[in-house]
């Protein structure tokens, strides 16, 4: 992580997230709530449901809680990756190869309702296609999604 300094609008040197977030296994695609207290990320740590699963950890003081797997409603026996928590903290977007996809990885959303994550919904066409849709970000007003995808009219393997 890196923090924006208010004194001169520069960024601090990148710091590695501490344990229990980082382990000797792959961790990536972190997304944090607007208040900075809840972190969602992908990990390939043991005892997951699939290759990459979505985990959540909460911050208390300066420490992060032991990450919790989001479980079988969100995670599958296949691969989940590229997680994004909306600034509202109640809508989770992620790419999955294990839910009902149109081909390769598709983007899904799940809502946090009554203390549980809802069954993920495929965002459908034209966002998802038979190709891979993966890395993305959504503006807080839900009007613009930036996405790296393999659409037919791209200039390279994946374009924004």
Q: pTM (2 decimals)?
A: 0.89
Chain segment 74-98, per-residue pLDDT in tens: 999 999 989 999 988 999 999 998 8
- Cβ burial, residue 141 (10 Å; 0-12/13-18/19+): exposed
Mean of the per-residue pLDDT values of the chain: 90
CA angle 63, 67, 71 (to 5 degrees): 155
pLDDT confidence of residue 116: 95
Q: Residue 1: pLDDT above 80?
A: yes
């Amino acid at each position: 992580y890196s923090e924006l300094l208010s004194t001169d609008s520069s960024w601090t040197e990148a710091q590695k997230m501490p344990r229990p977030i980082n382990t000797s296994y792959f961790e990536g695609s972190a997304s944090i709530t607007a208040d900075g207290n809840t972190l969602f990320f992908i990990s390939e740590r043991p005892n997951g449901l699939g290759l990459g699963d979505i985990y959540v950890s909460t911050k208390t003081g300066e420490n992060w809680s032991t990450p919790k797997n989001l479980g079988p409603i969100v995670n599958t026996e296949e691969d989940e990756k590229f997680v994004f928590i909306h600034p509202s903290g109640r809508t989770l977007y992620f790419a999955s190869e294990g839910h009902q996809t149109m081909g390769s990885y598709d983007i899904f959303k799940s809502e946090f309702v009554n203390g549980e994550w809802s069954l993920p919904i495929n965002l459908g066409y034209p966002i998802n296609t038979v190709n891979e849709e993966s890395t993305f970000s959504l503006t807080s007003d839900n009007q613009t999604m930036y996405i790296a995808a393999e659409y037919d009219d791209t200039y390279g393997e994946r374009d924004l």
